[in-house]
Amino acid sequence: MRWLALLFLFLSAWAQSGPPPDLSPEVFAIARELRCPVCQGESAAESNAGVAVEMRRIIAEMLQQGKTEAEIKAFFVDRYGDWILYEPPRRGATLWVWVLPLVGLFLLGLGLFAYFRPKRPLPPELLEEAERRLKEPPA
Amino acid sequence: MRTWLWVLLLLFLGGLFLWGMQRNPRELPSVLARERRPAPDFTLPVLPPYREAWGETFRLSQHLGKRPVVLNFWASWCYPACYEEAPVLEALWRRYRDRVLFLGVNTQDQEPGALRFVAQFGLTFPQVFDPRGRVGVDYGMYGVPETFVIDAQGRVMVRHAGAIDQATLEKYLAEALP
């Protein structure tokens, strides 16, 4: 009997995870790419803040009206600016976000190459000179 | 020559780092205020204590273009910021009520809490109720409290995030009033 109760508990907890049934997965797919305005580092899909819930509702409404994903994102960008997008646009100051890692990798490669590149052997006369000096008794 | 290149690169990266460190991460851009866009219209139910004077519903566009509007988004659960600014808003509303319209938008809240809040501070300027916070999204609002100053032409002039103090609001009003 106890096992049955545990199983029931597990099943009900399992049923609660995942999106609520009134919104389609498509809504969450779009919400995942939008930032929740009041949360730190959460998307509008994950957060339960009031504004994120409302954003999901707006997305669902717009999808029902036949709006495309681009149109829905544009709706939010129009109100919040590019900030609302999780993937920063590749222009303006945010271009650096895309360019700097590449620049960093390039510089790292350059540094590694300079460090590990095969050294040119010393000219033989210089080596002979060094050997001769080593053999000389100390003054 | 090559050393100089490295020094320049280091200086550039250092400069970029310093610039980034000095940017205020709490400074939130407002598309409406930056482009001075026309204030988005809305129609919302008026909270019961204000219905006698302002009617059942409040339509913003009926009041735009006549005089500046101070639009304040708040919630009773927003402590302490909303509690700090409520007396400031009430005091300035009493002083400017002939020249400026103040409007409170109770956002993502429940009516009993909202009614307790307006009674606690004796707010006399009209208050509307937006439990879902839809109007906040239209204004690009991040979180309560936020105050928008709309000029006499009906365009959004300022967005102030967080509790507003008397000096700041007076400065905005001086700019908005012709």
**Coil, strand, or helix at residue A42?**
coil
Residue A35: beta bridge partners? A43
The 10s digit of each residue's pLDDT in A54-90 is: 999 999 999 999 999 999 999 999 999 888 998 877 7
Q: Residue A50: its chain B contacts at CB < 8 A? A: 107-108, 132-133
> For all residues of chain B together, what is the average pLDDT?
92
Is residue A11 pLDDT above 60, yes or no?
Answer: no
- Report whether B136 contacts B130 (CB < 8 A): yes
Chain A residues interacting with chain B (CB cutoff of 8 angstroms): 37-38, 50-51, 54-55, 57-58, 78-81, 83, 96, 107
pLDDT at position A16 is 46
pLDDT tens digits, one per residue of A31-41: 999 999 888 78
ipTM, two decimals: 0.81
E strands along chain B, which residues?
43-45, 57-59, 69-74, 101-107, 127-130, 146-150, 156-161
pLDDT at A38: 85
* Radius of gyration for the alpha carbons in chain B, expressed in angstroms and rounded: 20
User: What pLDDT, in 10s, does the model give residues B13-38?
Assistant: 899 889 888 877 666 778 899 899 99
To the nearest whole angstrom, how far is the Cα of A49 from the nearest Cα of chain B?
Answer: 10
**What is the pLDDT, as a whole number, of residue A5?**
58
The verdict on pTM exceeding 0.90 is: no
Residue of A47, A51, A73, A83 to mutate when probing chain B, most B C-beta within 10 A: A51
pLDDT tier, A3 (very low <50, low <70, confident <90, very high otherwise): low
Neighbours of A137 (CB within 10 A): 4
Q: Does residue B71 register a pLDDT over 60? A: yes
What is the distance between the alpha carbons of residues A85 and B136, in angstroms, rounded to a whole number? Answer: 18
**Nearest by Cα to B38 from A78, A58, A52:** A78
Identity of residue A123: P
Q: Is the model's pLDDT at A15 over the cut of 70?
A: no
Q: What gap in Å lies between CA B109 and CA A53, rounded to an integer?
A: 14
